Structures are given as C-alpha cells and as structure tokens.
Chain A
Amino acid sequence: MSQKYSLSVSSQFERLAEIADFVADAACACGLNEDQVCDAQMAVDEACTNVIEHAYRGKPDGTIHIVCERRGKEFLVTIQDFGARFDPNKVQPPKTGDPLSKRRIGGLGLFFMRKLMDRVEFDFSSGPGNRLTMAKKIKR
C-alpha cells in the first residue's frame, strides 16, 4: 500500500516555503535521492507559482491542493487548483541559448518543470480549475 502525503494551502507566495518543505519530506519518504528531492521541490515551486500568478491571478484566497505518493518506481505529485484554466501550449519556451539582448523575460517556470521531471501532464477534464500531474523516476 502506498502512502499519500497531502497539503492544502492558500494561493499566496508566502506559502511557497512551506510547500517546499512538505515536498522535500514527502519525496524523501518516497525514496528520491537528495538531487532528485531538489528537482521535485523546484518543479512544484514553479507549478504553484504559476497557479498563484495565472490560475488565481494573484488573488490570495484560492486553494492549492498537493498530493505526493510513490507509485511503483515513480514519485508522483498532483497539484489541483480551482482557478482559471491554464493552457500550457500557449506558453512559448524560453530560448536558453539566446544572448541577453534577445532573452525574453518569461516562460521559465514551465521550462524548469519539464526539465526537472520525467512527465508533466495537465488534465482539464475533471471539473473546474487545473489538475497537474508530474512524475519522477526513483533512482537510488
């Protein structure tokens, strides 16, 4: 039986540190190594920042629900919000090779999530808001 770790927080940037601690504890308990814990922590930080900025547009009274679990050889994180729909296909990836004069400021959050996790999937079929699932293969 896999254990689930869950946390519900309000949509405020001030809660990001608490989210990071929660993810670190859960990822560690699920068997991720130290580097992988940092990867998962950052991916969730970026995802929740997007939720606060885009889904809730900075409104502090939204809810973010985070569930972490180990499923087989994967660490899974599900992040549910009840804000505006977020279409990841509309976000242009940053051109990380561009010189300063051409670098756009933005698009980095999703870029990091995809870089740090093995799977990043948005699901809009289950009611209001956004449901994001990210997975990382557990290496020891």
Chain B
Amino acid sequence: MEPEIRIIAPQGRLDAAGAQPLEVELKQRIAAGETRLIVDFQETRYIGSNGLRVLLAALKQAQEQGGALKLCGLIARLKEIFVMAGFDRVFEIFETREDAEKSFRN
C-alpha cells in the first residue's frame, strides 16, 4: 500500500512567528515517517524569509527520506515571493490540492 499523503494548510501570516508552528508540525510529521507532504497555501496571506526557510529545510528532510514536499493554492502575491527567491525552481508548485495529490500518484 502507498503511504498516506499528508496535507498541511497554514493559516494567516507565515512571518517569523507564524513559521514556528509550521516548522514544528513539519518536523514532527517527517520524524514520524510521513514524508509525502503537501502544503496548501489557500488560507495563507503572507510568507516571509523564515517561512521560506522552514519549507526549504522540510523539503530537504523529506527528500532525504525518499519523500517529497509539494505546494499548492498560492495567491498571486505569494507566487511572486517564491519566484523572487528562486523557490519556484526548487519546489513543485500546483494550482490546486487535487493536482498536487495526483502528482504523487503518477
């Protein structure tokens, strides 16, 4: 059986304060062997460099364990920030959660 896909949907602002609970959750999931992860940004209004760092670290950890961390649901402003940082080349980014889920199954 394929391992489960875990979806995490942070809300509000992923500034240095908002990135902390996300970091804890991602670390716990990955430590528990849940390495097929989707972060859905539908309800995220802002991401700063701390939020980006948390995602980058989690992506590396997930990949080291043979998994992946994929992103979806980014509003235009968030997409711009990802592009500025060159993160669009590092992460797989999908429009919808369904698209991201499908990519795990293909």
Inter-chain residue pair count (beta carbon < 8 A): 69
B-side residues, CB < 8 A to A, are: 13, 15-17, 20, 46, 48-50, 52-53, 56-57, 59-60, 63, 77, 81, 84-86, 89-90
* Residue A59 lies at the interface, judged by CB distance under 8 Å to chain B: no
Distance to closest chain A CB from B68 (angstroms):
11
* Residue A132 lies at the interface, judged by CB distance under 8 Å to chain B: no
A-side residues, CB < 8 A to B, are: 13-14, 16-17, 20, 38, 41-42, 45-46, 49, 52-53, 94-100, 103, 105-106, 108-109, 111-112, 115
In the complex the two chains form, what is the Cα distance from A97 to B59 in whole Å? 17
By the criterion CB–CB under 8 Å, are A46 and B48 in contact?
yes
Q: A interface, by DSSP: helix, strand, loop or mixed?
A: helix
Distance to closest chain A CB from B52 (angstroms):
6
By the criterion CB–CB under 8 Å, are B59 and A100 in contact?
yes
By the criterion CB–CB under 8 Å, are A97 and B50 in contact?
no
Q: B interface, by DSSP: helix, strand, loop or mixed?
A: helix
Distance to closest chain B CB from A50 (angstroms):
9
Interfacial chain A residues near B89, Cβ < 8 Å: 97, 99
By the criterion CB–CB under 8 Å, are B84 and A112 in contact?
yes
Which of B17, B56, B63 is close to A13, meaning CB atoms less than 8 Å apart?
B17
Instruction: Given contacts A99-B90, A100-B59, list 7 more A-B pairs with CB under 8 A.
Output: A16-B17, A17-B17, A53-B16, A94-B86, A100-B60, A108-B49, A108-B85
Q: A17-B13, A100-B63, A112-B84 are known contacts. Are A49 and B46 too (CB-CB below 8 A)?
A: no
Q: A38-B77, A100-B59 are known contacts. Are A105 and B17 too (CB-CB below 8 A)?
A: no
Interfacial chain B residues near A98, Cβ < 8 Å: 86
